[in-house]
Structure 1
Amino acid sequence: MAGRLIVISNRIPTDAAPSGGLVVALHDALKARGGLWVGHSGKVTDSPAEGLTTIADEPYQRRAFDLTPAEHKGFYLDYANATLWPLFHHRADLMTLDPESSRIYWEVNRKVAQLVAAELQPDDVVWVQDYHFIPLAQAMRMEGVKNRIGFFLHIPFPNASDVPALPEQRYLASWLAAYDLVGLQTRRDVAAAIDVLRRSGAEMLLRGQMRLGDRHFTLGSFPIGIDVDDFVRAAEAAPPAGATLRIPDEEKLILGVDRLDYSKGIPNRFSAFGEFLATGEDGEPRATLLQIAPPSREDVEAYREIREELETLSGRVNGNHAELDWTPIRYIRRGLPRDVLAGLYRRADAMLVTPLADGMNLVAKEYVAAQDGADPGVLILSHFAGAAEQLDAALMVNPYDTAETAKAIRQALSMPEHERRARHLSLIRTIRETDIAWWTATYLDALTGRAASAAA
């Protein structure tokens, strides 16, 4: 790739040594190729800087933009997270519809497009990240930008039956068509996007290419991965979690790690665990469900409701089944350090990853990487997680069916070692073959034309 790589995302790393799989992957790609990362500074102020402010110039450029309180509310809180997020997670009933927030969403995208266009060189390649900036390519084309522009959506793509709930649905197809490459997590997402685009007048061509008006663009599935070796090292170096948890070796630990969000299926999970306990037989080892759910967007009503629901459900299950020396559900509503999480993953006999809708769900892959291959735990995975297309050696469940999930918990906790090892071997091979470096290289090769076609 001759020109620079220009990455645009809502958040931008401020540390010289960033952490987190996606951030590290983009950091490495920019460091190798040279480039510019543009994102929100985190500042919400009545007096925003006129243009992009410099965070760093080495090992690549990082520039940030500020938002006013009205822009932060309309662009980020109201439209991106209260309109697009529920729609794309198949919860149109939770959408907030406000013409003013829609206008501000477009205006912020237009502002960022103008700021980035002023920085572009002719051979630069632009890579836009996620649902905050779906219209960004169209806004950049309006500024005369001819560069190759790619987009990657980290969350699910909405179904054609959901999209009419979006007042701006007539713009969605043209927003996407302004990109050269639209990357999605799964083949299921690609099929949904094709359906939506064809209903909007787009024509399907060969090898994932589509045409809408005079725009030719490509759709492809690029399932995101993790830095497997880094997480293996973290798990091996983590202090034993059993002593910290005060759980004896013979007691089973089931783990859930999710951001507190209605898309994650945590209430269904608590109910399924309660059913597992209620149908238990004498002589079964005790099992504890440890749920870690750091809050997000607590100023949105739907998030306050799920918080209250989880507190009620955990109280009910514990009230029915707890003993003086045992609390069946341990519910922690805050984040934990990465090294602590790695130790918990390694100790857990089973991992419940049961979203109702998810783009990929990297927690599932982190759990697999953290396991001791000689005595691994069991991944219980929702059919609706994007990871289900790759991790078919997991125990698959319908998260809406609490009886089925309860049965899967019992199967996981009683699974013989040889089966656990065989399943884990299949899973670890998959996540190594499609790790975060593979994802970055595969996408950028497709965007720059070095790949014959996008992944399908």
Structure 2
Amino acid sequence: MAGKEGFDLVVVANRLPVDFTVSDDGDVSWNRSPGGLVTALEPVMQAADGAWVGWSGAPDLEVEPLDADDMRLVPVTLSAEEIERYYEGFSNDTLWPLYHDVIAPPTYHRTWWDSYHRVNQRFADAAVEQAAHGATVWIHDYQLQLVPKMIREQRPDLRIGFFNHIPFPPLELFQQLPWRRRVIDGLLGADLVGFQRAGDAANFIRAVRRLRAYTTRGPMITVPDEDGRERHVRAAAFPISIDSRRFDELARQPEIQHRAREIRSDLGDPEIMMLGVDRLDYTKGIRHRIKAYGELLQDGRLDVEHATLVQVASPSRENVGAYQDLREHVEGAVGRINGEYAEIGHAAIHYLHHSYPPEEMAAMYLAADVMLVTSLRDGMNLVAKEYVAARSDDRGVLVLSEFTGAADEMAAGALLVNPHDIDGMKDMIVAAAHMDTREQRKRMRRLRRRVLADDVARWSESFLGVLTAMPSRVPRSTGPARSASSEERDT
């Protein structure tokens, strides 16, 4: 591990890639918490001698930095009040709904903003302390949008990247945020700002022009420094992916294939098994999906003797009121549909409010004839890619919302739907349920070629490659800067 000089690559994310537990006698232990981001960055960090800065996941837990899997893990301590205000409050009850097209109304509290600013500074300070001279710092997601500028103010020698894993909203929505300029300034502290979709990058650039009137040319933004020089900031799309080979290999294992057959048997061997896998979040369109499915049963276009829907809804942000309301609504709708249409041995909807390990998810994907991804707004939606990667048999149909980042990459093989159009979604679900085997294979092969080629390792290599190639600073231009139009000037 690095000595006094620090680390050549520092990742800054809201959470560490481990889960900490505290025993009754006060001893602290940890277990690795694998995820897509860890999978993407682990080999790069090991090669570059890297450190990961993040919250431990528990309130008021102070843990010294530790080494794990050739990475330095640097815990950031958050109080219970900061978790309530910075994380549950500003991050997930202000920014999350605002960045997801205001599907639920955002809440604006100055105390939440103060906590967000204070916690972002703590993350920035921790990153600065770990970074070697000239190191690369890669900051992740909407919880830490102020960190790039905070780091740059202390360490202009560092190369700084930021990746936003969720959508970036149109200017007309982003302008609602009382602290909009400070968020823009925070992000412009980076050399490279990455987004899931080209449209998100365009939204960000438009917000920069309107709120800061900086010169922009395509993806490049010219930002003045205080010392009379200028920097170039690039804003571009880098669609994230998954460890697709892992899901492909899991689905080929005999025990996983046996488990897939067992799942179908436990469901009563339906002719058509449909599957939804989501966090229990209002952005995922679970209510719209269940409504469409219930109407198909009511219309007689599907029946419980031949078809069933399995809905996995992982617990999410259960202390936020909008999520509590969503759970009540979804569980109530499931109960009504099952009460009206279920028969002995044939449930209409199997509702599972759990999280499952990758092995069980691979078996579910392999068992499902139709995968329903009906998000109202999603930065990417990796479940769609996991389903495709697991279909090593070239079977199955993906019904995919056009409002996901995945739709940009998977339109050639998926059946795209507008989840707000219930009648249109019903037609697509029926088309998926009755699609012939030859058409399934043609579509799934297209999808698998894309997903298996563009995996999460390629995503991290692409982002870091562009970041490394970014110029540091340029002399201040003598020509006139691009002026904002009347439409773009802030009022």
**TM-score by structure 2 length?**
0.86
- Residue 285 of structure 1 and its aligned partner are, at CA, apart by 6.5
Cα distance in structure 2, aligned partners of 1:57 and 1:421: 42
Equivalent residue number for residue 382 of structure 1: 401
Cα distance in structure 1, aligned partners of 2:68 and 2:278: 35
Cα distance in structure 2, aligned partners of 1:427 and 1:179: 34
Q: 2:167–2:200: 8 Å Cα contact kept in structure 1?
A: yes
- Residue 450 of structure 1 and its aligned partner are, at CA, apart by 7.4
Q: State how 1:136-155 maps to structure 2 within 5 Å.
A: 136-155=147-166
The 1:203–1:181 alpha-carbon spacing in structure 2 relative to 1, beyond 3 Å, is same
What secondary structure does 2:56 align onto? strand
Q: 1:216 aligns with which of 205, 212, 232?
A: 232
Cα distance in structure 2, aligned partners of 1:213 and 1:418: 57
Q: 2:175 aligns with which of 164, 167, 175?
A: 164
Which stretch of the first structure deviates more once superposed, 377-386 or 234-243? 234-243
The 1:434–1:204 alpha-carbon spacing in structure 2 relative to 1, beyond 3 Å, is farther
Equivalent residue number for residue 88 of structure 1: 99
| Amino acid in structure 1 at the alignment position of 2:363 | G
Q: 1:242–1:248: 8 Å Cα contact kept in structure 2?
A: no
Cα distance in structure 1, aligned partners of 2:236 and 2:83: 31
1:34 aligns with 2:53: no
Q: 1:371 aligns with which of 357, 379, 391?
A: 391
Q: 1:227 aligns with which of 243, 265, 269?
A: 243
Equivalent residue number for residue 113 of structure 2: 102
- Residue 206 of structure 1 and its aligned partner are, at CA, apart by 3.8
Q: 2:238–2:459: 8 Å Cα contact kept in structure 1?
A: yes
What secondary structure does 1:150 align onto? strand
Q: Deviations over 1:44-78 (max 9, x none)?
A: 12xx64xx721216512111111112222221111
Q: State how 1:263-282 maps to structure 2 within 5 Å.
A: 263-281=283-301
Cα distance in structure 1, aligned partners of 2:410 and 2:215: 29
Q: 1:173–1:197: 8 Å Cα contact kept in structure 2?
A: yes
Q: 1:291 aligns with which of 311, 315, 318?
A: 311
Cα distance in structure 1, aligned partners of 2:118 and 2:93: 17
The 1:352–1:141 alpha-carbon spacing in structure 2 relative to 1, beyond 3 Å, is same
Q: State how 1:108-147 maps to structure 2 within 5 Å.
A: 108-147=119-158
The 1:282–1:154 alpha-carbon spacing in structure 2 relative to 1, beyond 3 Å, is closer
Q: 1:201–1:212: 8 Å Cα contact kept in structure 2?
A: no
Cα distance in structure 2, aligned partners of 1:17 and 1:102: 31
1:6 aligns with 2:10: yes
Cα distance in structure 2, aligned partners of 1:257 and 1:282: 21
Q: 2:209–2:216: 8 Å Cα contact kept in structure 1?
A: no
Q: 2:252 aligns with which of 236, 241, 244?
A: 236
Q: State how 1:331-410 maps to structure 2 within 5 Å.
A: 331-374=351-394, 376-392=395-411, 393-410=413-430
Cα distance in structure 2, aligned partners of 1:197 and 1:93: 25
The 1:187–1:416 alpha-carbon spacing in structure 2 relative to 1, beyond 3 Å, is same
Q: What is the percent sequence identity of the aligned residues?
A: 38
Cα distance in structure 1, aligned partners of 2:238 and 2:170: 19
Cα distance in structure 2, aligned partners of 1:207 and 1:27: 32
Cα distance in structure 1, aligned partners of 2:58 and 2:154: 26
- Residue 249 of structure 1 and its aligned partner are, at CA, apart by 4.4
- Residue 382 of structure 1 and its aligned partner are, at CA, apart by 0.1
Equivalent residue number for residue 44 of structure 1: 59
Cα distance in structure 2, aligned partners of 1:335 and 1:18: 13
| Amino acid in structure 1 at the alignment position of 2:46 | K
Give the paired residue count.
445
Q: 2:211 aligns with which of 200, 208, 220?
A: 200
Which runs of 5 or more residues in structure 2 are unaligned?
1-5, 19-29, 226-230, 472-491
The 1:351–1:203 alpha-carbon spacing in structure 2 relative to 1, beyond 3 Å, is same
The 1:97–1:284 alpha-carbon spacing in structure 2 relative to 1, beyond 3 Å, is closer
Q: Deviations over 1:351-406 (max 9, x none)?
A: 000100101000000000111334x1000000101100000120000001111111
Q: 1:3–1:123: 8 Å Cα contact kept in structure 2?
A: no
Q: 1:160–1:196: 8 Å Cα contact kept in structure 2?
A: yes
Which stretch of the first structure deviates more once superposed, 56-65 or 331-340? 56-65
1:258 aligns with 2:278: yes
| Amino acid in structure 1 at the alignment position of 2:170 | N
The 1:227–1:236 alpha-carbon spacing in structure 2 relative to 1, beyond 3 Å, is same
Cα distance in structure 2, aligned partners of 1:301 and 1:16: 30
1:56 aligns with 2:67: yes
Cα distance in structure 2, aligned partners of 1:35 and 1:125: 10
The 1:92–1:247 alpha-carbon spacing in structure 2 relative to 1, beyond 3 Å, is closer
What secondary structure does 2:131 align onto? coil
What secondary structure does 1:440 align onto? helix
**TM-score by structure 1 length?**
0.93
CA RMSD, Structure 1 to Structure 2 (Å): 2.1
Q: Deviations over 1:285-313 (max 9, x none)?
A: 71101000011111111011111111121
Q: 2:36 aligns with which of 2, 18, 21?
A: 21
Q: 1:256–1:290: 8 Å Cα contact kept in structure 2?
A: yes
1:187 aligns with 2:198: yes
Q: 1:130–1:154: 8 Å Cα contact kept in structure 2?
A: yes
Q: 1:67 aligns with which of 74, 78, 98?
A: 78
What secondary structure does 1:404 align onto? helix
Q: 2:304–2:343: 8 Å Cα contact kept in structure 1?
A: no
| Amino acid in structure 2 at the alignment position of 1:13 | P
Which stretch of the first structure deviates more once superposed, 52-61 or 63-72? 52-61
| Amino acid in structure 2 at the alignment position of 1:99 | R
Q: Deviations over 1:294-349 (max 9, x none)?
A: 11111111011111111121122222221122111111111122211110100100
The 1:255–1:281 alpha-carbon spacing in structure 2 relative to 1, beyond 3 Å, is closer
Q: 2:134–2:157: 8 Å Cα contact kept in structure 1?
A: no
Which runs of 5 or more residues in structure 1 are unaligned?
452-456
Cα distance in structure 1, aligned partners of 2:15 and 2:42: 13
The 1:93–1:337 alpha-carbon spacing in structure 2 relative to 1, beyond 3 Å, is closer
Q: 1:350–1:379: 8 Å Cα contact kept in structure 2?
A: yes
- Residue 447 of structure 1 and its aligned partner are, at CA, apart by 0.5
Q: 1:36–1:63: 8 Å Cα contact kept in structure 2?
A: yes
